[in-house]
Amino acid sequence: DRGLNHFEKIINQTHSNQISGDDAFKLYDTFGFPLDLTQLMAKERNLTVDQKRFDACMQKQKKKAKSAGKFKISSKSLDWKSISDGQHSSFVGYESFKSNSKIVKYSNIDNSKIYIVLDKTPFYAESGGQVSDKGTITGENIDLSVLNVRNENQLSVHICEGTFKFSDTDVFCKVDKTRRQNAMCNHTATHLMHKALKTVLGDHVNQAGSMVHPDYLRFDLTHFEKINQNQIEEIEKIVNDQIIENKKLDISIKSYDTAKKEGAEALFGEKYGDQVRVVKVGDFSNELCGGTHVSSAGEIGSLRIISESAISAGTRRIEAVAGLSAYEWTEQRVSLLQKLTRQLACTPDELTDRITQMQAKSKELDKKLRAFEQKGQAGLADQLIESGEKHGSFNFIKSAVPNLSPNDLRALAAQVNKRAAPSVVLLASESNGKCGLVCICSQEAVDAGHQAGKYLGELAQKLGGKGGGKPDFAMGGAPAGKDLSEALSGIELSSGLA
């Protein structure tokens, strides 16, 4: 509802026939509206969406996220202050969302953030495509928010901000449980979808990259063509069937050779040690993975694929949502469906037929409108021919006509030329803040040496525009707001051409 309310606010504040790319991106980034949903809702209001600007906003965010992810630290680059000895960076987050830990060392070299290494941590460090946990680290004179956790030189480095004054090494760590659980849903859903993709598309499918976020999942795969809608629906059904069956997860540590013999899926190019962590979902999915997962598939709730696209030759990208995000995504579409059925006074089952009827009616009205416009243009053509100048055996027709699109201007010029031949026709028209130019020479005029490109070029130059073409036909454009009649009056047929 918040997203729909914001959409209505955008509509009320829009003074053109287009929703800005920035507004469309905010709907995507803040309220989870995919671009196709915004485009559909905009089309319902006879509006378009500035997709070029939306794509620019998306790229800017990706660059920002990528830049934020480039966290390069080492013992040499940070001035570490060691305050306790013993083990460090033992991960206990598979079993618990919290822990009583000790600070091993820290650094606050940039004075805005503090970097902490603990003896043990419940915070998952970004790896394997899964983003890191967030949460808090508290203690005596310590109140920190964990923004990110990165692995560096076998250290789990917690990037934090907040207040700190180390009088004691003991701290209490608490993971943002909701965020982690959402990430777990999306991670297990990624495994199920990977297997479903192989089932539907073929064994040639391999994972080429992934992103597991609390709000969504992204999966890159090797595949040679677009994944069609029927295949997407089949992939969704296979995954959701596994979720409904509530398959239990079996997570174990095995030797790499044993895991491979038992059919575990390993990522191409990934380096594995002698001992690996194996994540199995019932008898359906079997992968090597160090990430966090739900205990049974039913906890995922559901999965919805929201987009499919090409990112390079032979590589496709799927974006999907699971868990709470899938519920919210579905709610948005149900709300939109209800809104459409109310506006069109029909049931959901009747919606397709109603839209088909409206499209047919619109097509019929367009046909009638075109016929009316052509009739009007015929009358306008008569006026232009009557106002033409006679130069020897040729009719020279030059005029500014009101509010015609480039296509309509071209059609009018062709009609005039056909009826007035032998002729040279030079027309200009302002429409939608632009000025269109067209020149057509009949075959007789071309044979006599007249060139449409020459006349149009002269006119375009006078108007500060550009244009050109062949001897018999040329088109161009110029900025609006110029005196077309004055510019046209300065164009004369080439002397000596009869």
Domain that holds residue 121: 86-175
Residue pLDDT, tens place only, 238-278: 999 999 999 999 999 999 999 999 999 988 667 888 999 99
Whether 400 is covered by a domain: the verdict is yes
Please say if the pLDDT value at position 405 is more than 50. Answer: yes
* Residue 275, domain CATH: 3.30.980.10
Whether 77 is covered by a domain: the verdict is no
Whether 300 is covered by a domain: the verdict is yes
Instruction: Between 397 and 481, name the one with better pLDDT.
Output: 397
**Contacts (Cβ under 8 Å, ≥6 apart) of 273:** 256
Please compute the mean of the pLDDT values over residues 69-82 and round it to a whole number.
62
Q: Both 328 and 198 in a single domain?
A: yes
**pLDDT score for 68:** 46
Least confident of 42-46, 112-116, 274-278, 447-451: 42-46
Domain-ending residue, one of 22, 47, 62: 62
Q: Both 437 and 403 in a single domain?
A: yes
Q: Both 224 and 328 in a single domain?
A: yes
Q: Is residue 121 very low, low, confident or very high in pLDDT (cuts 50, 70, 90)? A: very high
Whether 361 is covered by a domain: the verdict is no
Residues of the chain with pLDDT > 90, as a percent, come to 62
Q: Both 137 and 194 in a single domain?
A: no
Please say if the pLDDT value at position 313 is more than 90. Answer: no
User: Domain count of the chain?
Assistant: 4
Domain-ending residue, one of 277, 308, 333: 333
Whether 277 is covered by a domain: the verdict is yes
Residues of the chain with pLDDT > 70, as a percent, come to 94
pTM beyond 0.75: no
**Contacts (Cβ under 8 Å, ≥6 apart) of 111:** none
Q: Both 294 and 401 in a single domain?
A: no
**pLDDT score for 46:** 84
Q: Both 475 and 443 in a single domain?
A: yes
Residue pLDDT, tens place only, 426-464: 999 998 888 999 999 999 999 999 999 999 999 999 999
**pLDDT score for 396:** 93
Q: Is residue 496 very low, low, confident or very high in pLDDT (cuts 50, 70, 90)? A: low
Q: Both 470 and 417 in a single domain?
A: yes
Q: Is residue 70 very low, low, confident or very high in pLDDT (cuts 50, 70, 90)? A: very low
**pLDDT score for 238:** 98
* Residue 171, domain CATH: 2.40.30.130
Whether 103 is covered by a domain: the verdict is yes
Q: Is residue 35 very low, low, confident or very high in pLDDT (cuts 50, 70, 90)? A: confident
Please compute the mean of the pLDDT values over residues 199-209 and round it to a whole number.
93
Please say if the pLDDT value at position 403 is more than 90. Answer: no
Residue pLDDT, tens place only, 337-385: 999 999 999 999 999 999 999 999 999 888 877 776 666 677 888 889 9
Q: Both 218 and 306 in a single domain?
A: yes
7 near 23, Cβ under 8 Å?
no
Q: Both 184 and 329 in a single domain?
A: yes
Please compute the mean of the pLDDT values over residues 136-145 and round it to a whole number.
94
**pLDDT score for 268:** 66
Whether 378 is covered by a domain: the verdict is yes
Whether 495 is covered by a domain: the verdict is no
Average pLDDT, the chain: 89
Instruction: Between 484 and 240, name the one with better pLDDT.
Output: 240
Q: Both 245 and 105 in a single domain?
A: no
Domain-ending residue, one of 288, 314, 333: 333
Please compute the mean of the pLDDT values over residues 19-43 and round it to a whole number.
84
**pLDDT score for 235:** 98
Q: Both 273 and 401 in a single domain?
A: no
Q: Both 232 and 316 in a single domain?
A: yes
